[in-house]
Amino acid sequence: MIMELCYGRDMSHPDLNLLVTLDVLLTEGSVARAARRLRLSPSAMSRALARLRETTGDPLLVRAGRGLVPTPRALELREQVGRIVQDAEAVLRPAEALDLARLVRTFTLRTSEGFVETFGPGLIARVSKEAPGVRLCFLPKPDRDSAPLREGTIDLETGVVGKTMGPEVRARGLFRDRFIGAVRPGHPLSEGKVTLARYAAGRHILVSRRGLDRGPVDDALEESGLERQAATIVGGFSTALALARSSDLIATVPERHTEGLRAGMHSFSLPVPVPEITVSLLWHPRLDADPAHRWLRECVRVACSGPLPDPALGAETICLSPSPKA
């Protein structure tokens, strides 16, 4: 649609200069001011406006009193044309070395529950030290839709690579995570060995964003001829841990992701084998070469690469491989 604005009388040879002219005209709203900004004569700018009107089939700017006002078509095009011109200028501009001390930018990260509590302090400290002008905005992750990455409303996302992720999205493994049990201090499972029978006999909190009544733990228990009683179903790990902290319910949660949420609780290894998950960093390919974005991706990787605080609960491996849904 926009490219039609660039063509003159010969449709095979686009005049991309018309895009710049149109952008300035729509921004200034005046032929005289646009002419001064582009260092053209008023007559040359008037001729350019006439070409634009002929090309688009719309008057674009019409007389209103002593000034000009944009038509609905011009208002529709203004933002889109401005964005195209900015992108073109960025392509033609020489790349500058990244100066973190002078970088002023806000990055938006969409993360799963527990990420900010566990990895946020280290990530924010590193970013603040290296680039004081950078601000991080953390948003919750209600689903696995990759549209926000594609649309540019977020810069980075963390999560498990799934079938709903867009094929163009880039992914880099951060760490592998396993599921563990968490109960309040003094809970019967906080003492003695947690056997398969004791674990299955308890009352459980099932976590499912879609309200499903079973998950990987139930599949693993079924293979052993057992099943657990789900006393309630919640949509997130923080809610599950809050309930477990003040009741006799058992929460089964990913270990690394919920480290900050489980403070003061008793955690234990599951007595049933449940597949691990790989937590990855996700971004759109248009940001691949952006120096500031590449720096931030490395900051996130470093923040997530530390060892587990409790060696008794297992060792950490950084790897990117297919994982089951969390």
Other CB atoms within a 10 A radius of the CB of residue 62 amount to 11
Q: Report which of 187, 227, 186, 230 is spatially closest to residue 208, judged by C-alpha positions.
A: 230
DSSP H or E stretch at residue 135: strand 134-140
Same domain, 56 and 183: no
Question: What per-residue confidence (pLDDT) applies to 151?
Answer: 82
Is the per-residue pLDDT at 11 higher than 60? no
Q: What's CA 189's distance to the chain center, in Å?
A: 37
What radius of gyration, in Å, describes the C-alpha atoms of the chain? 28
Average pLDDT (56-72) is: 83
Same domain, 151 and 194: no
Highest mean predicted confidence (pLDDT) among 52-66, 137-151, 222-236, 239-253 = 239-253
Same domain, 154 and 293: yes
Same domain, 138 and 282: yes
Is the per-residue pLDDT at 292 higher than 50? yes
Domain assignment present for residue 171? The answer is: yes
Is the per-residue pLDDT at 150 higher than 60? yes
What amino acid is encoded at 304 in this protein? C
Domain assignment present for residue 46? The answer is: yes
Same domain, 258 and 309: no
Residue with tokens 């030290």: 129
Is the per-residue pLDDT at 314 higher than 90? no
Domain assignment present for residue 319? The answer is: no
Domain assignment present for residue 134? The answer is: yes
Is the per-residue pLDDT at 124 higher than 80? yes
Average pLDDT (216-235) is: 92
Pair 136, 246: CB distance under 8 Å: no
Phi then psi for residue 211, to 5 deg, are 75, 20
How far apart CA 142 and CA 165 sit, in angstroms, is: 14
Spatial neighbors of 323 by CB under 8 A, at least 6 apart, are 160, 161, 275, 276, 277, 278
Instruction: Give residue 120's domain range.
Output: 100-177+277-313
Domain assignment present for residue 111? The answer is: yes
Same domain, 108 and 36: no
Q: Give this prediction's pTM.
A: 0.62
What CATH number is associated with residue 133?
Answer: 3.40.190.10
266-285: per-residue pLDDT in tens?
999 999 999 999 999 999 98
Total domain count for the chain?
3
Same domain, 289 and 164: yes
Same domain, 143 and 21: no
What SS3 state is found at 281? strand
Domain assignment present for residue 322? The answer is: no
Domain assignment present for residue 82? The answer is: yes
Q: Report which of 22, 58, 15 is spatially closest to residue 37, judged by C-alpha positions.
A: 22
Domain assignment present for residue 321? The answer is: no
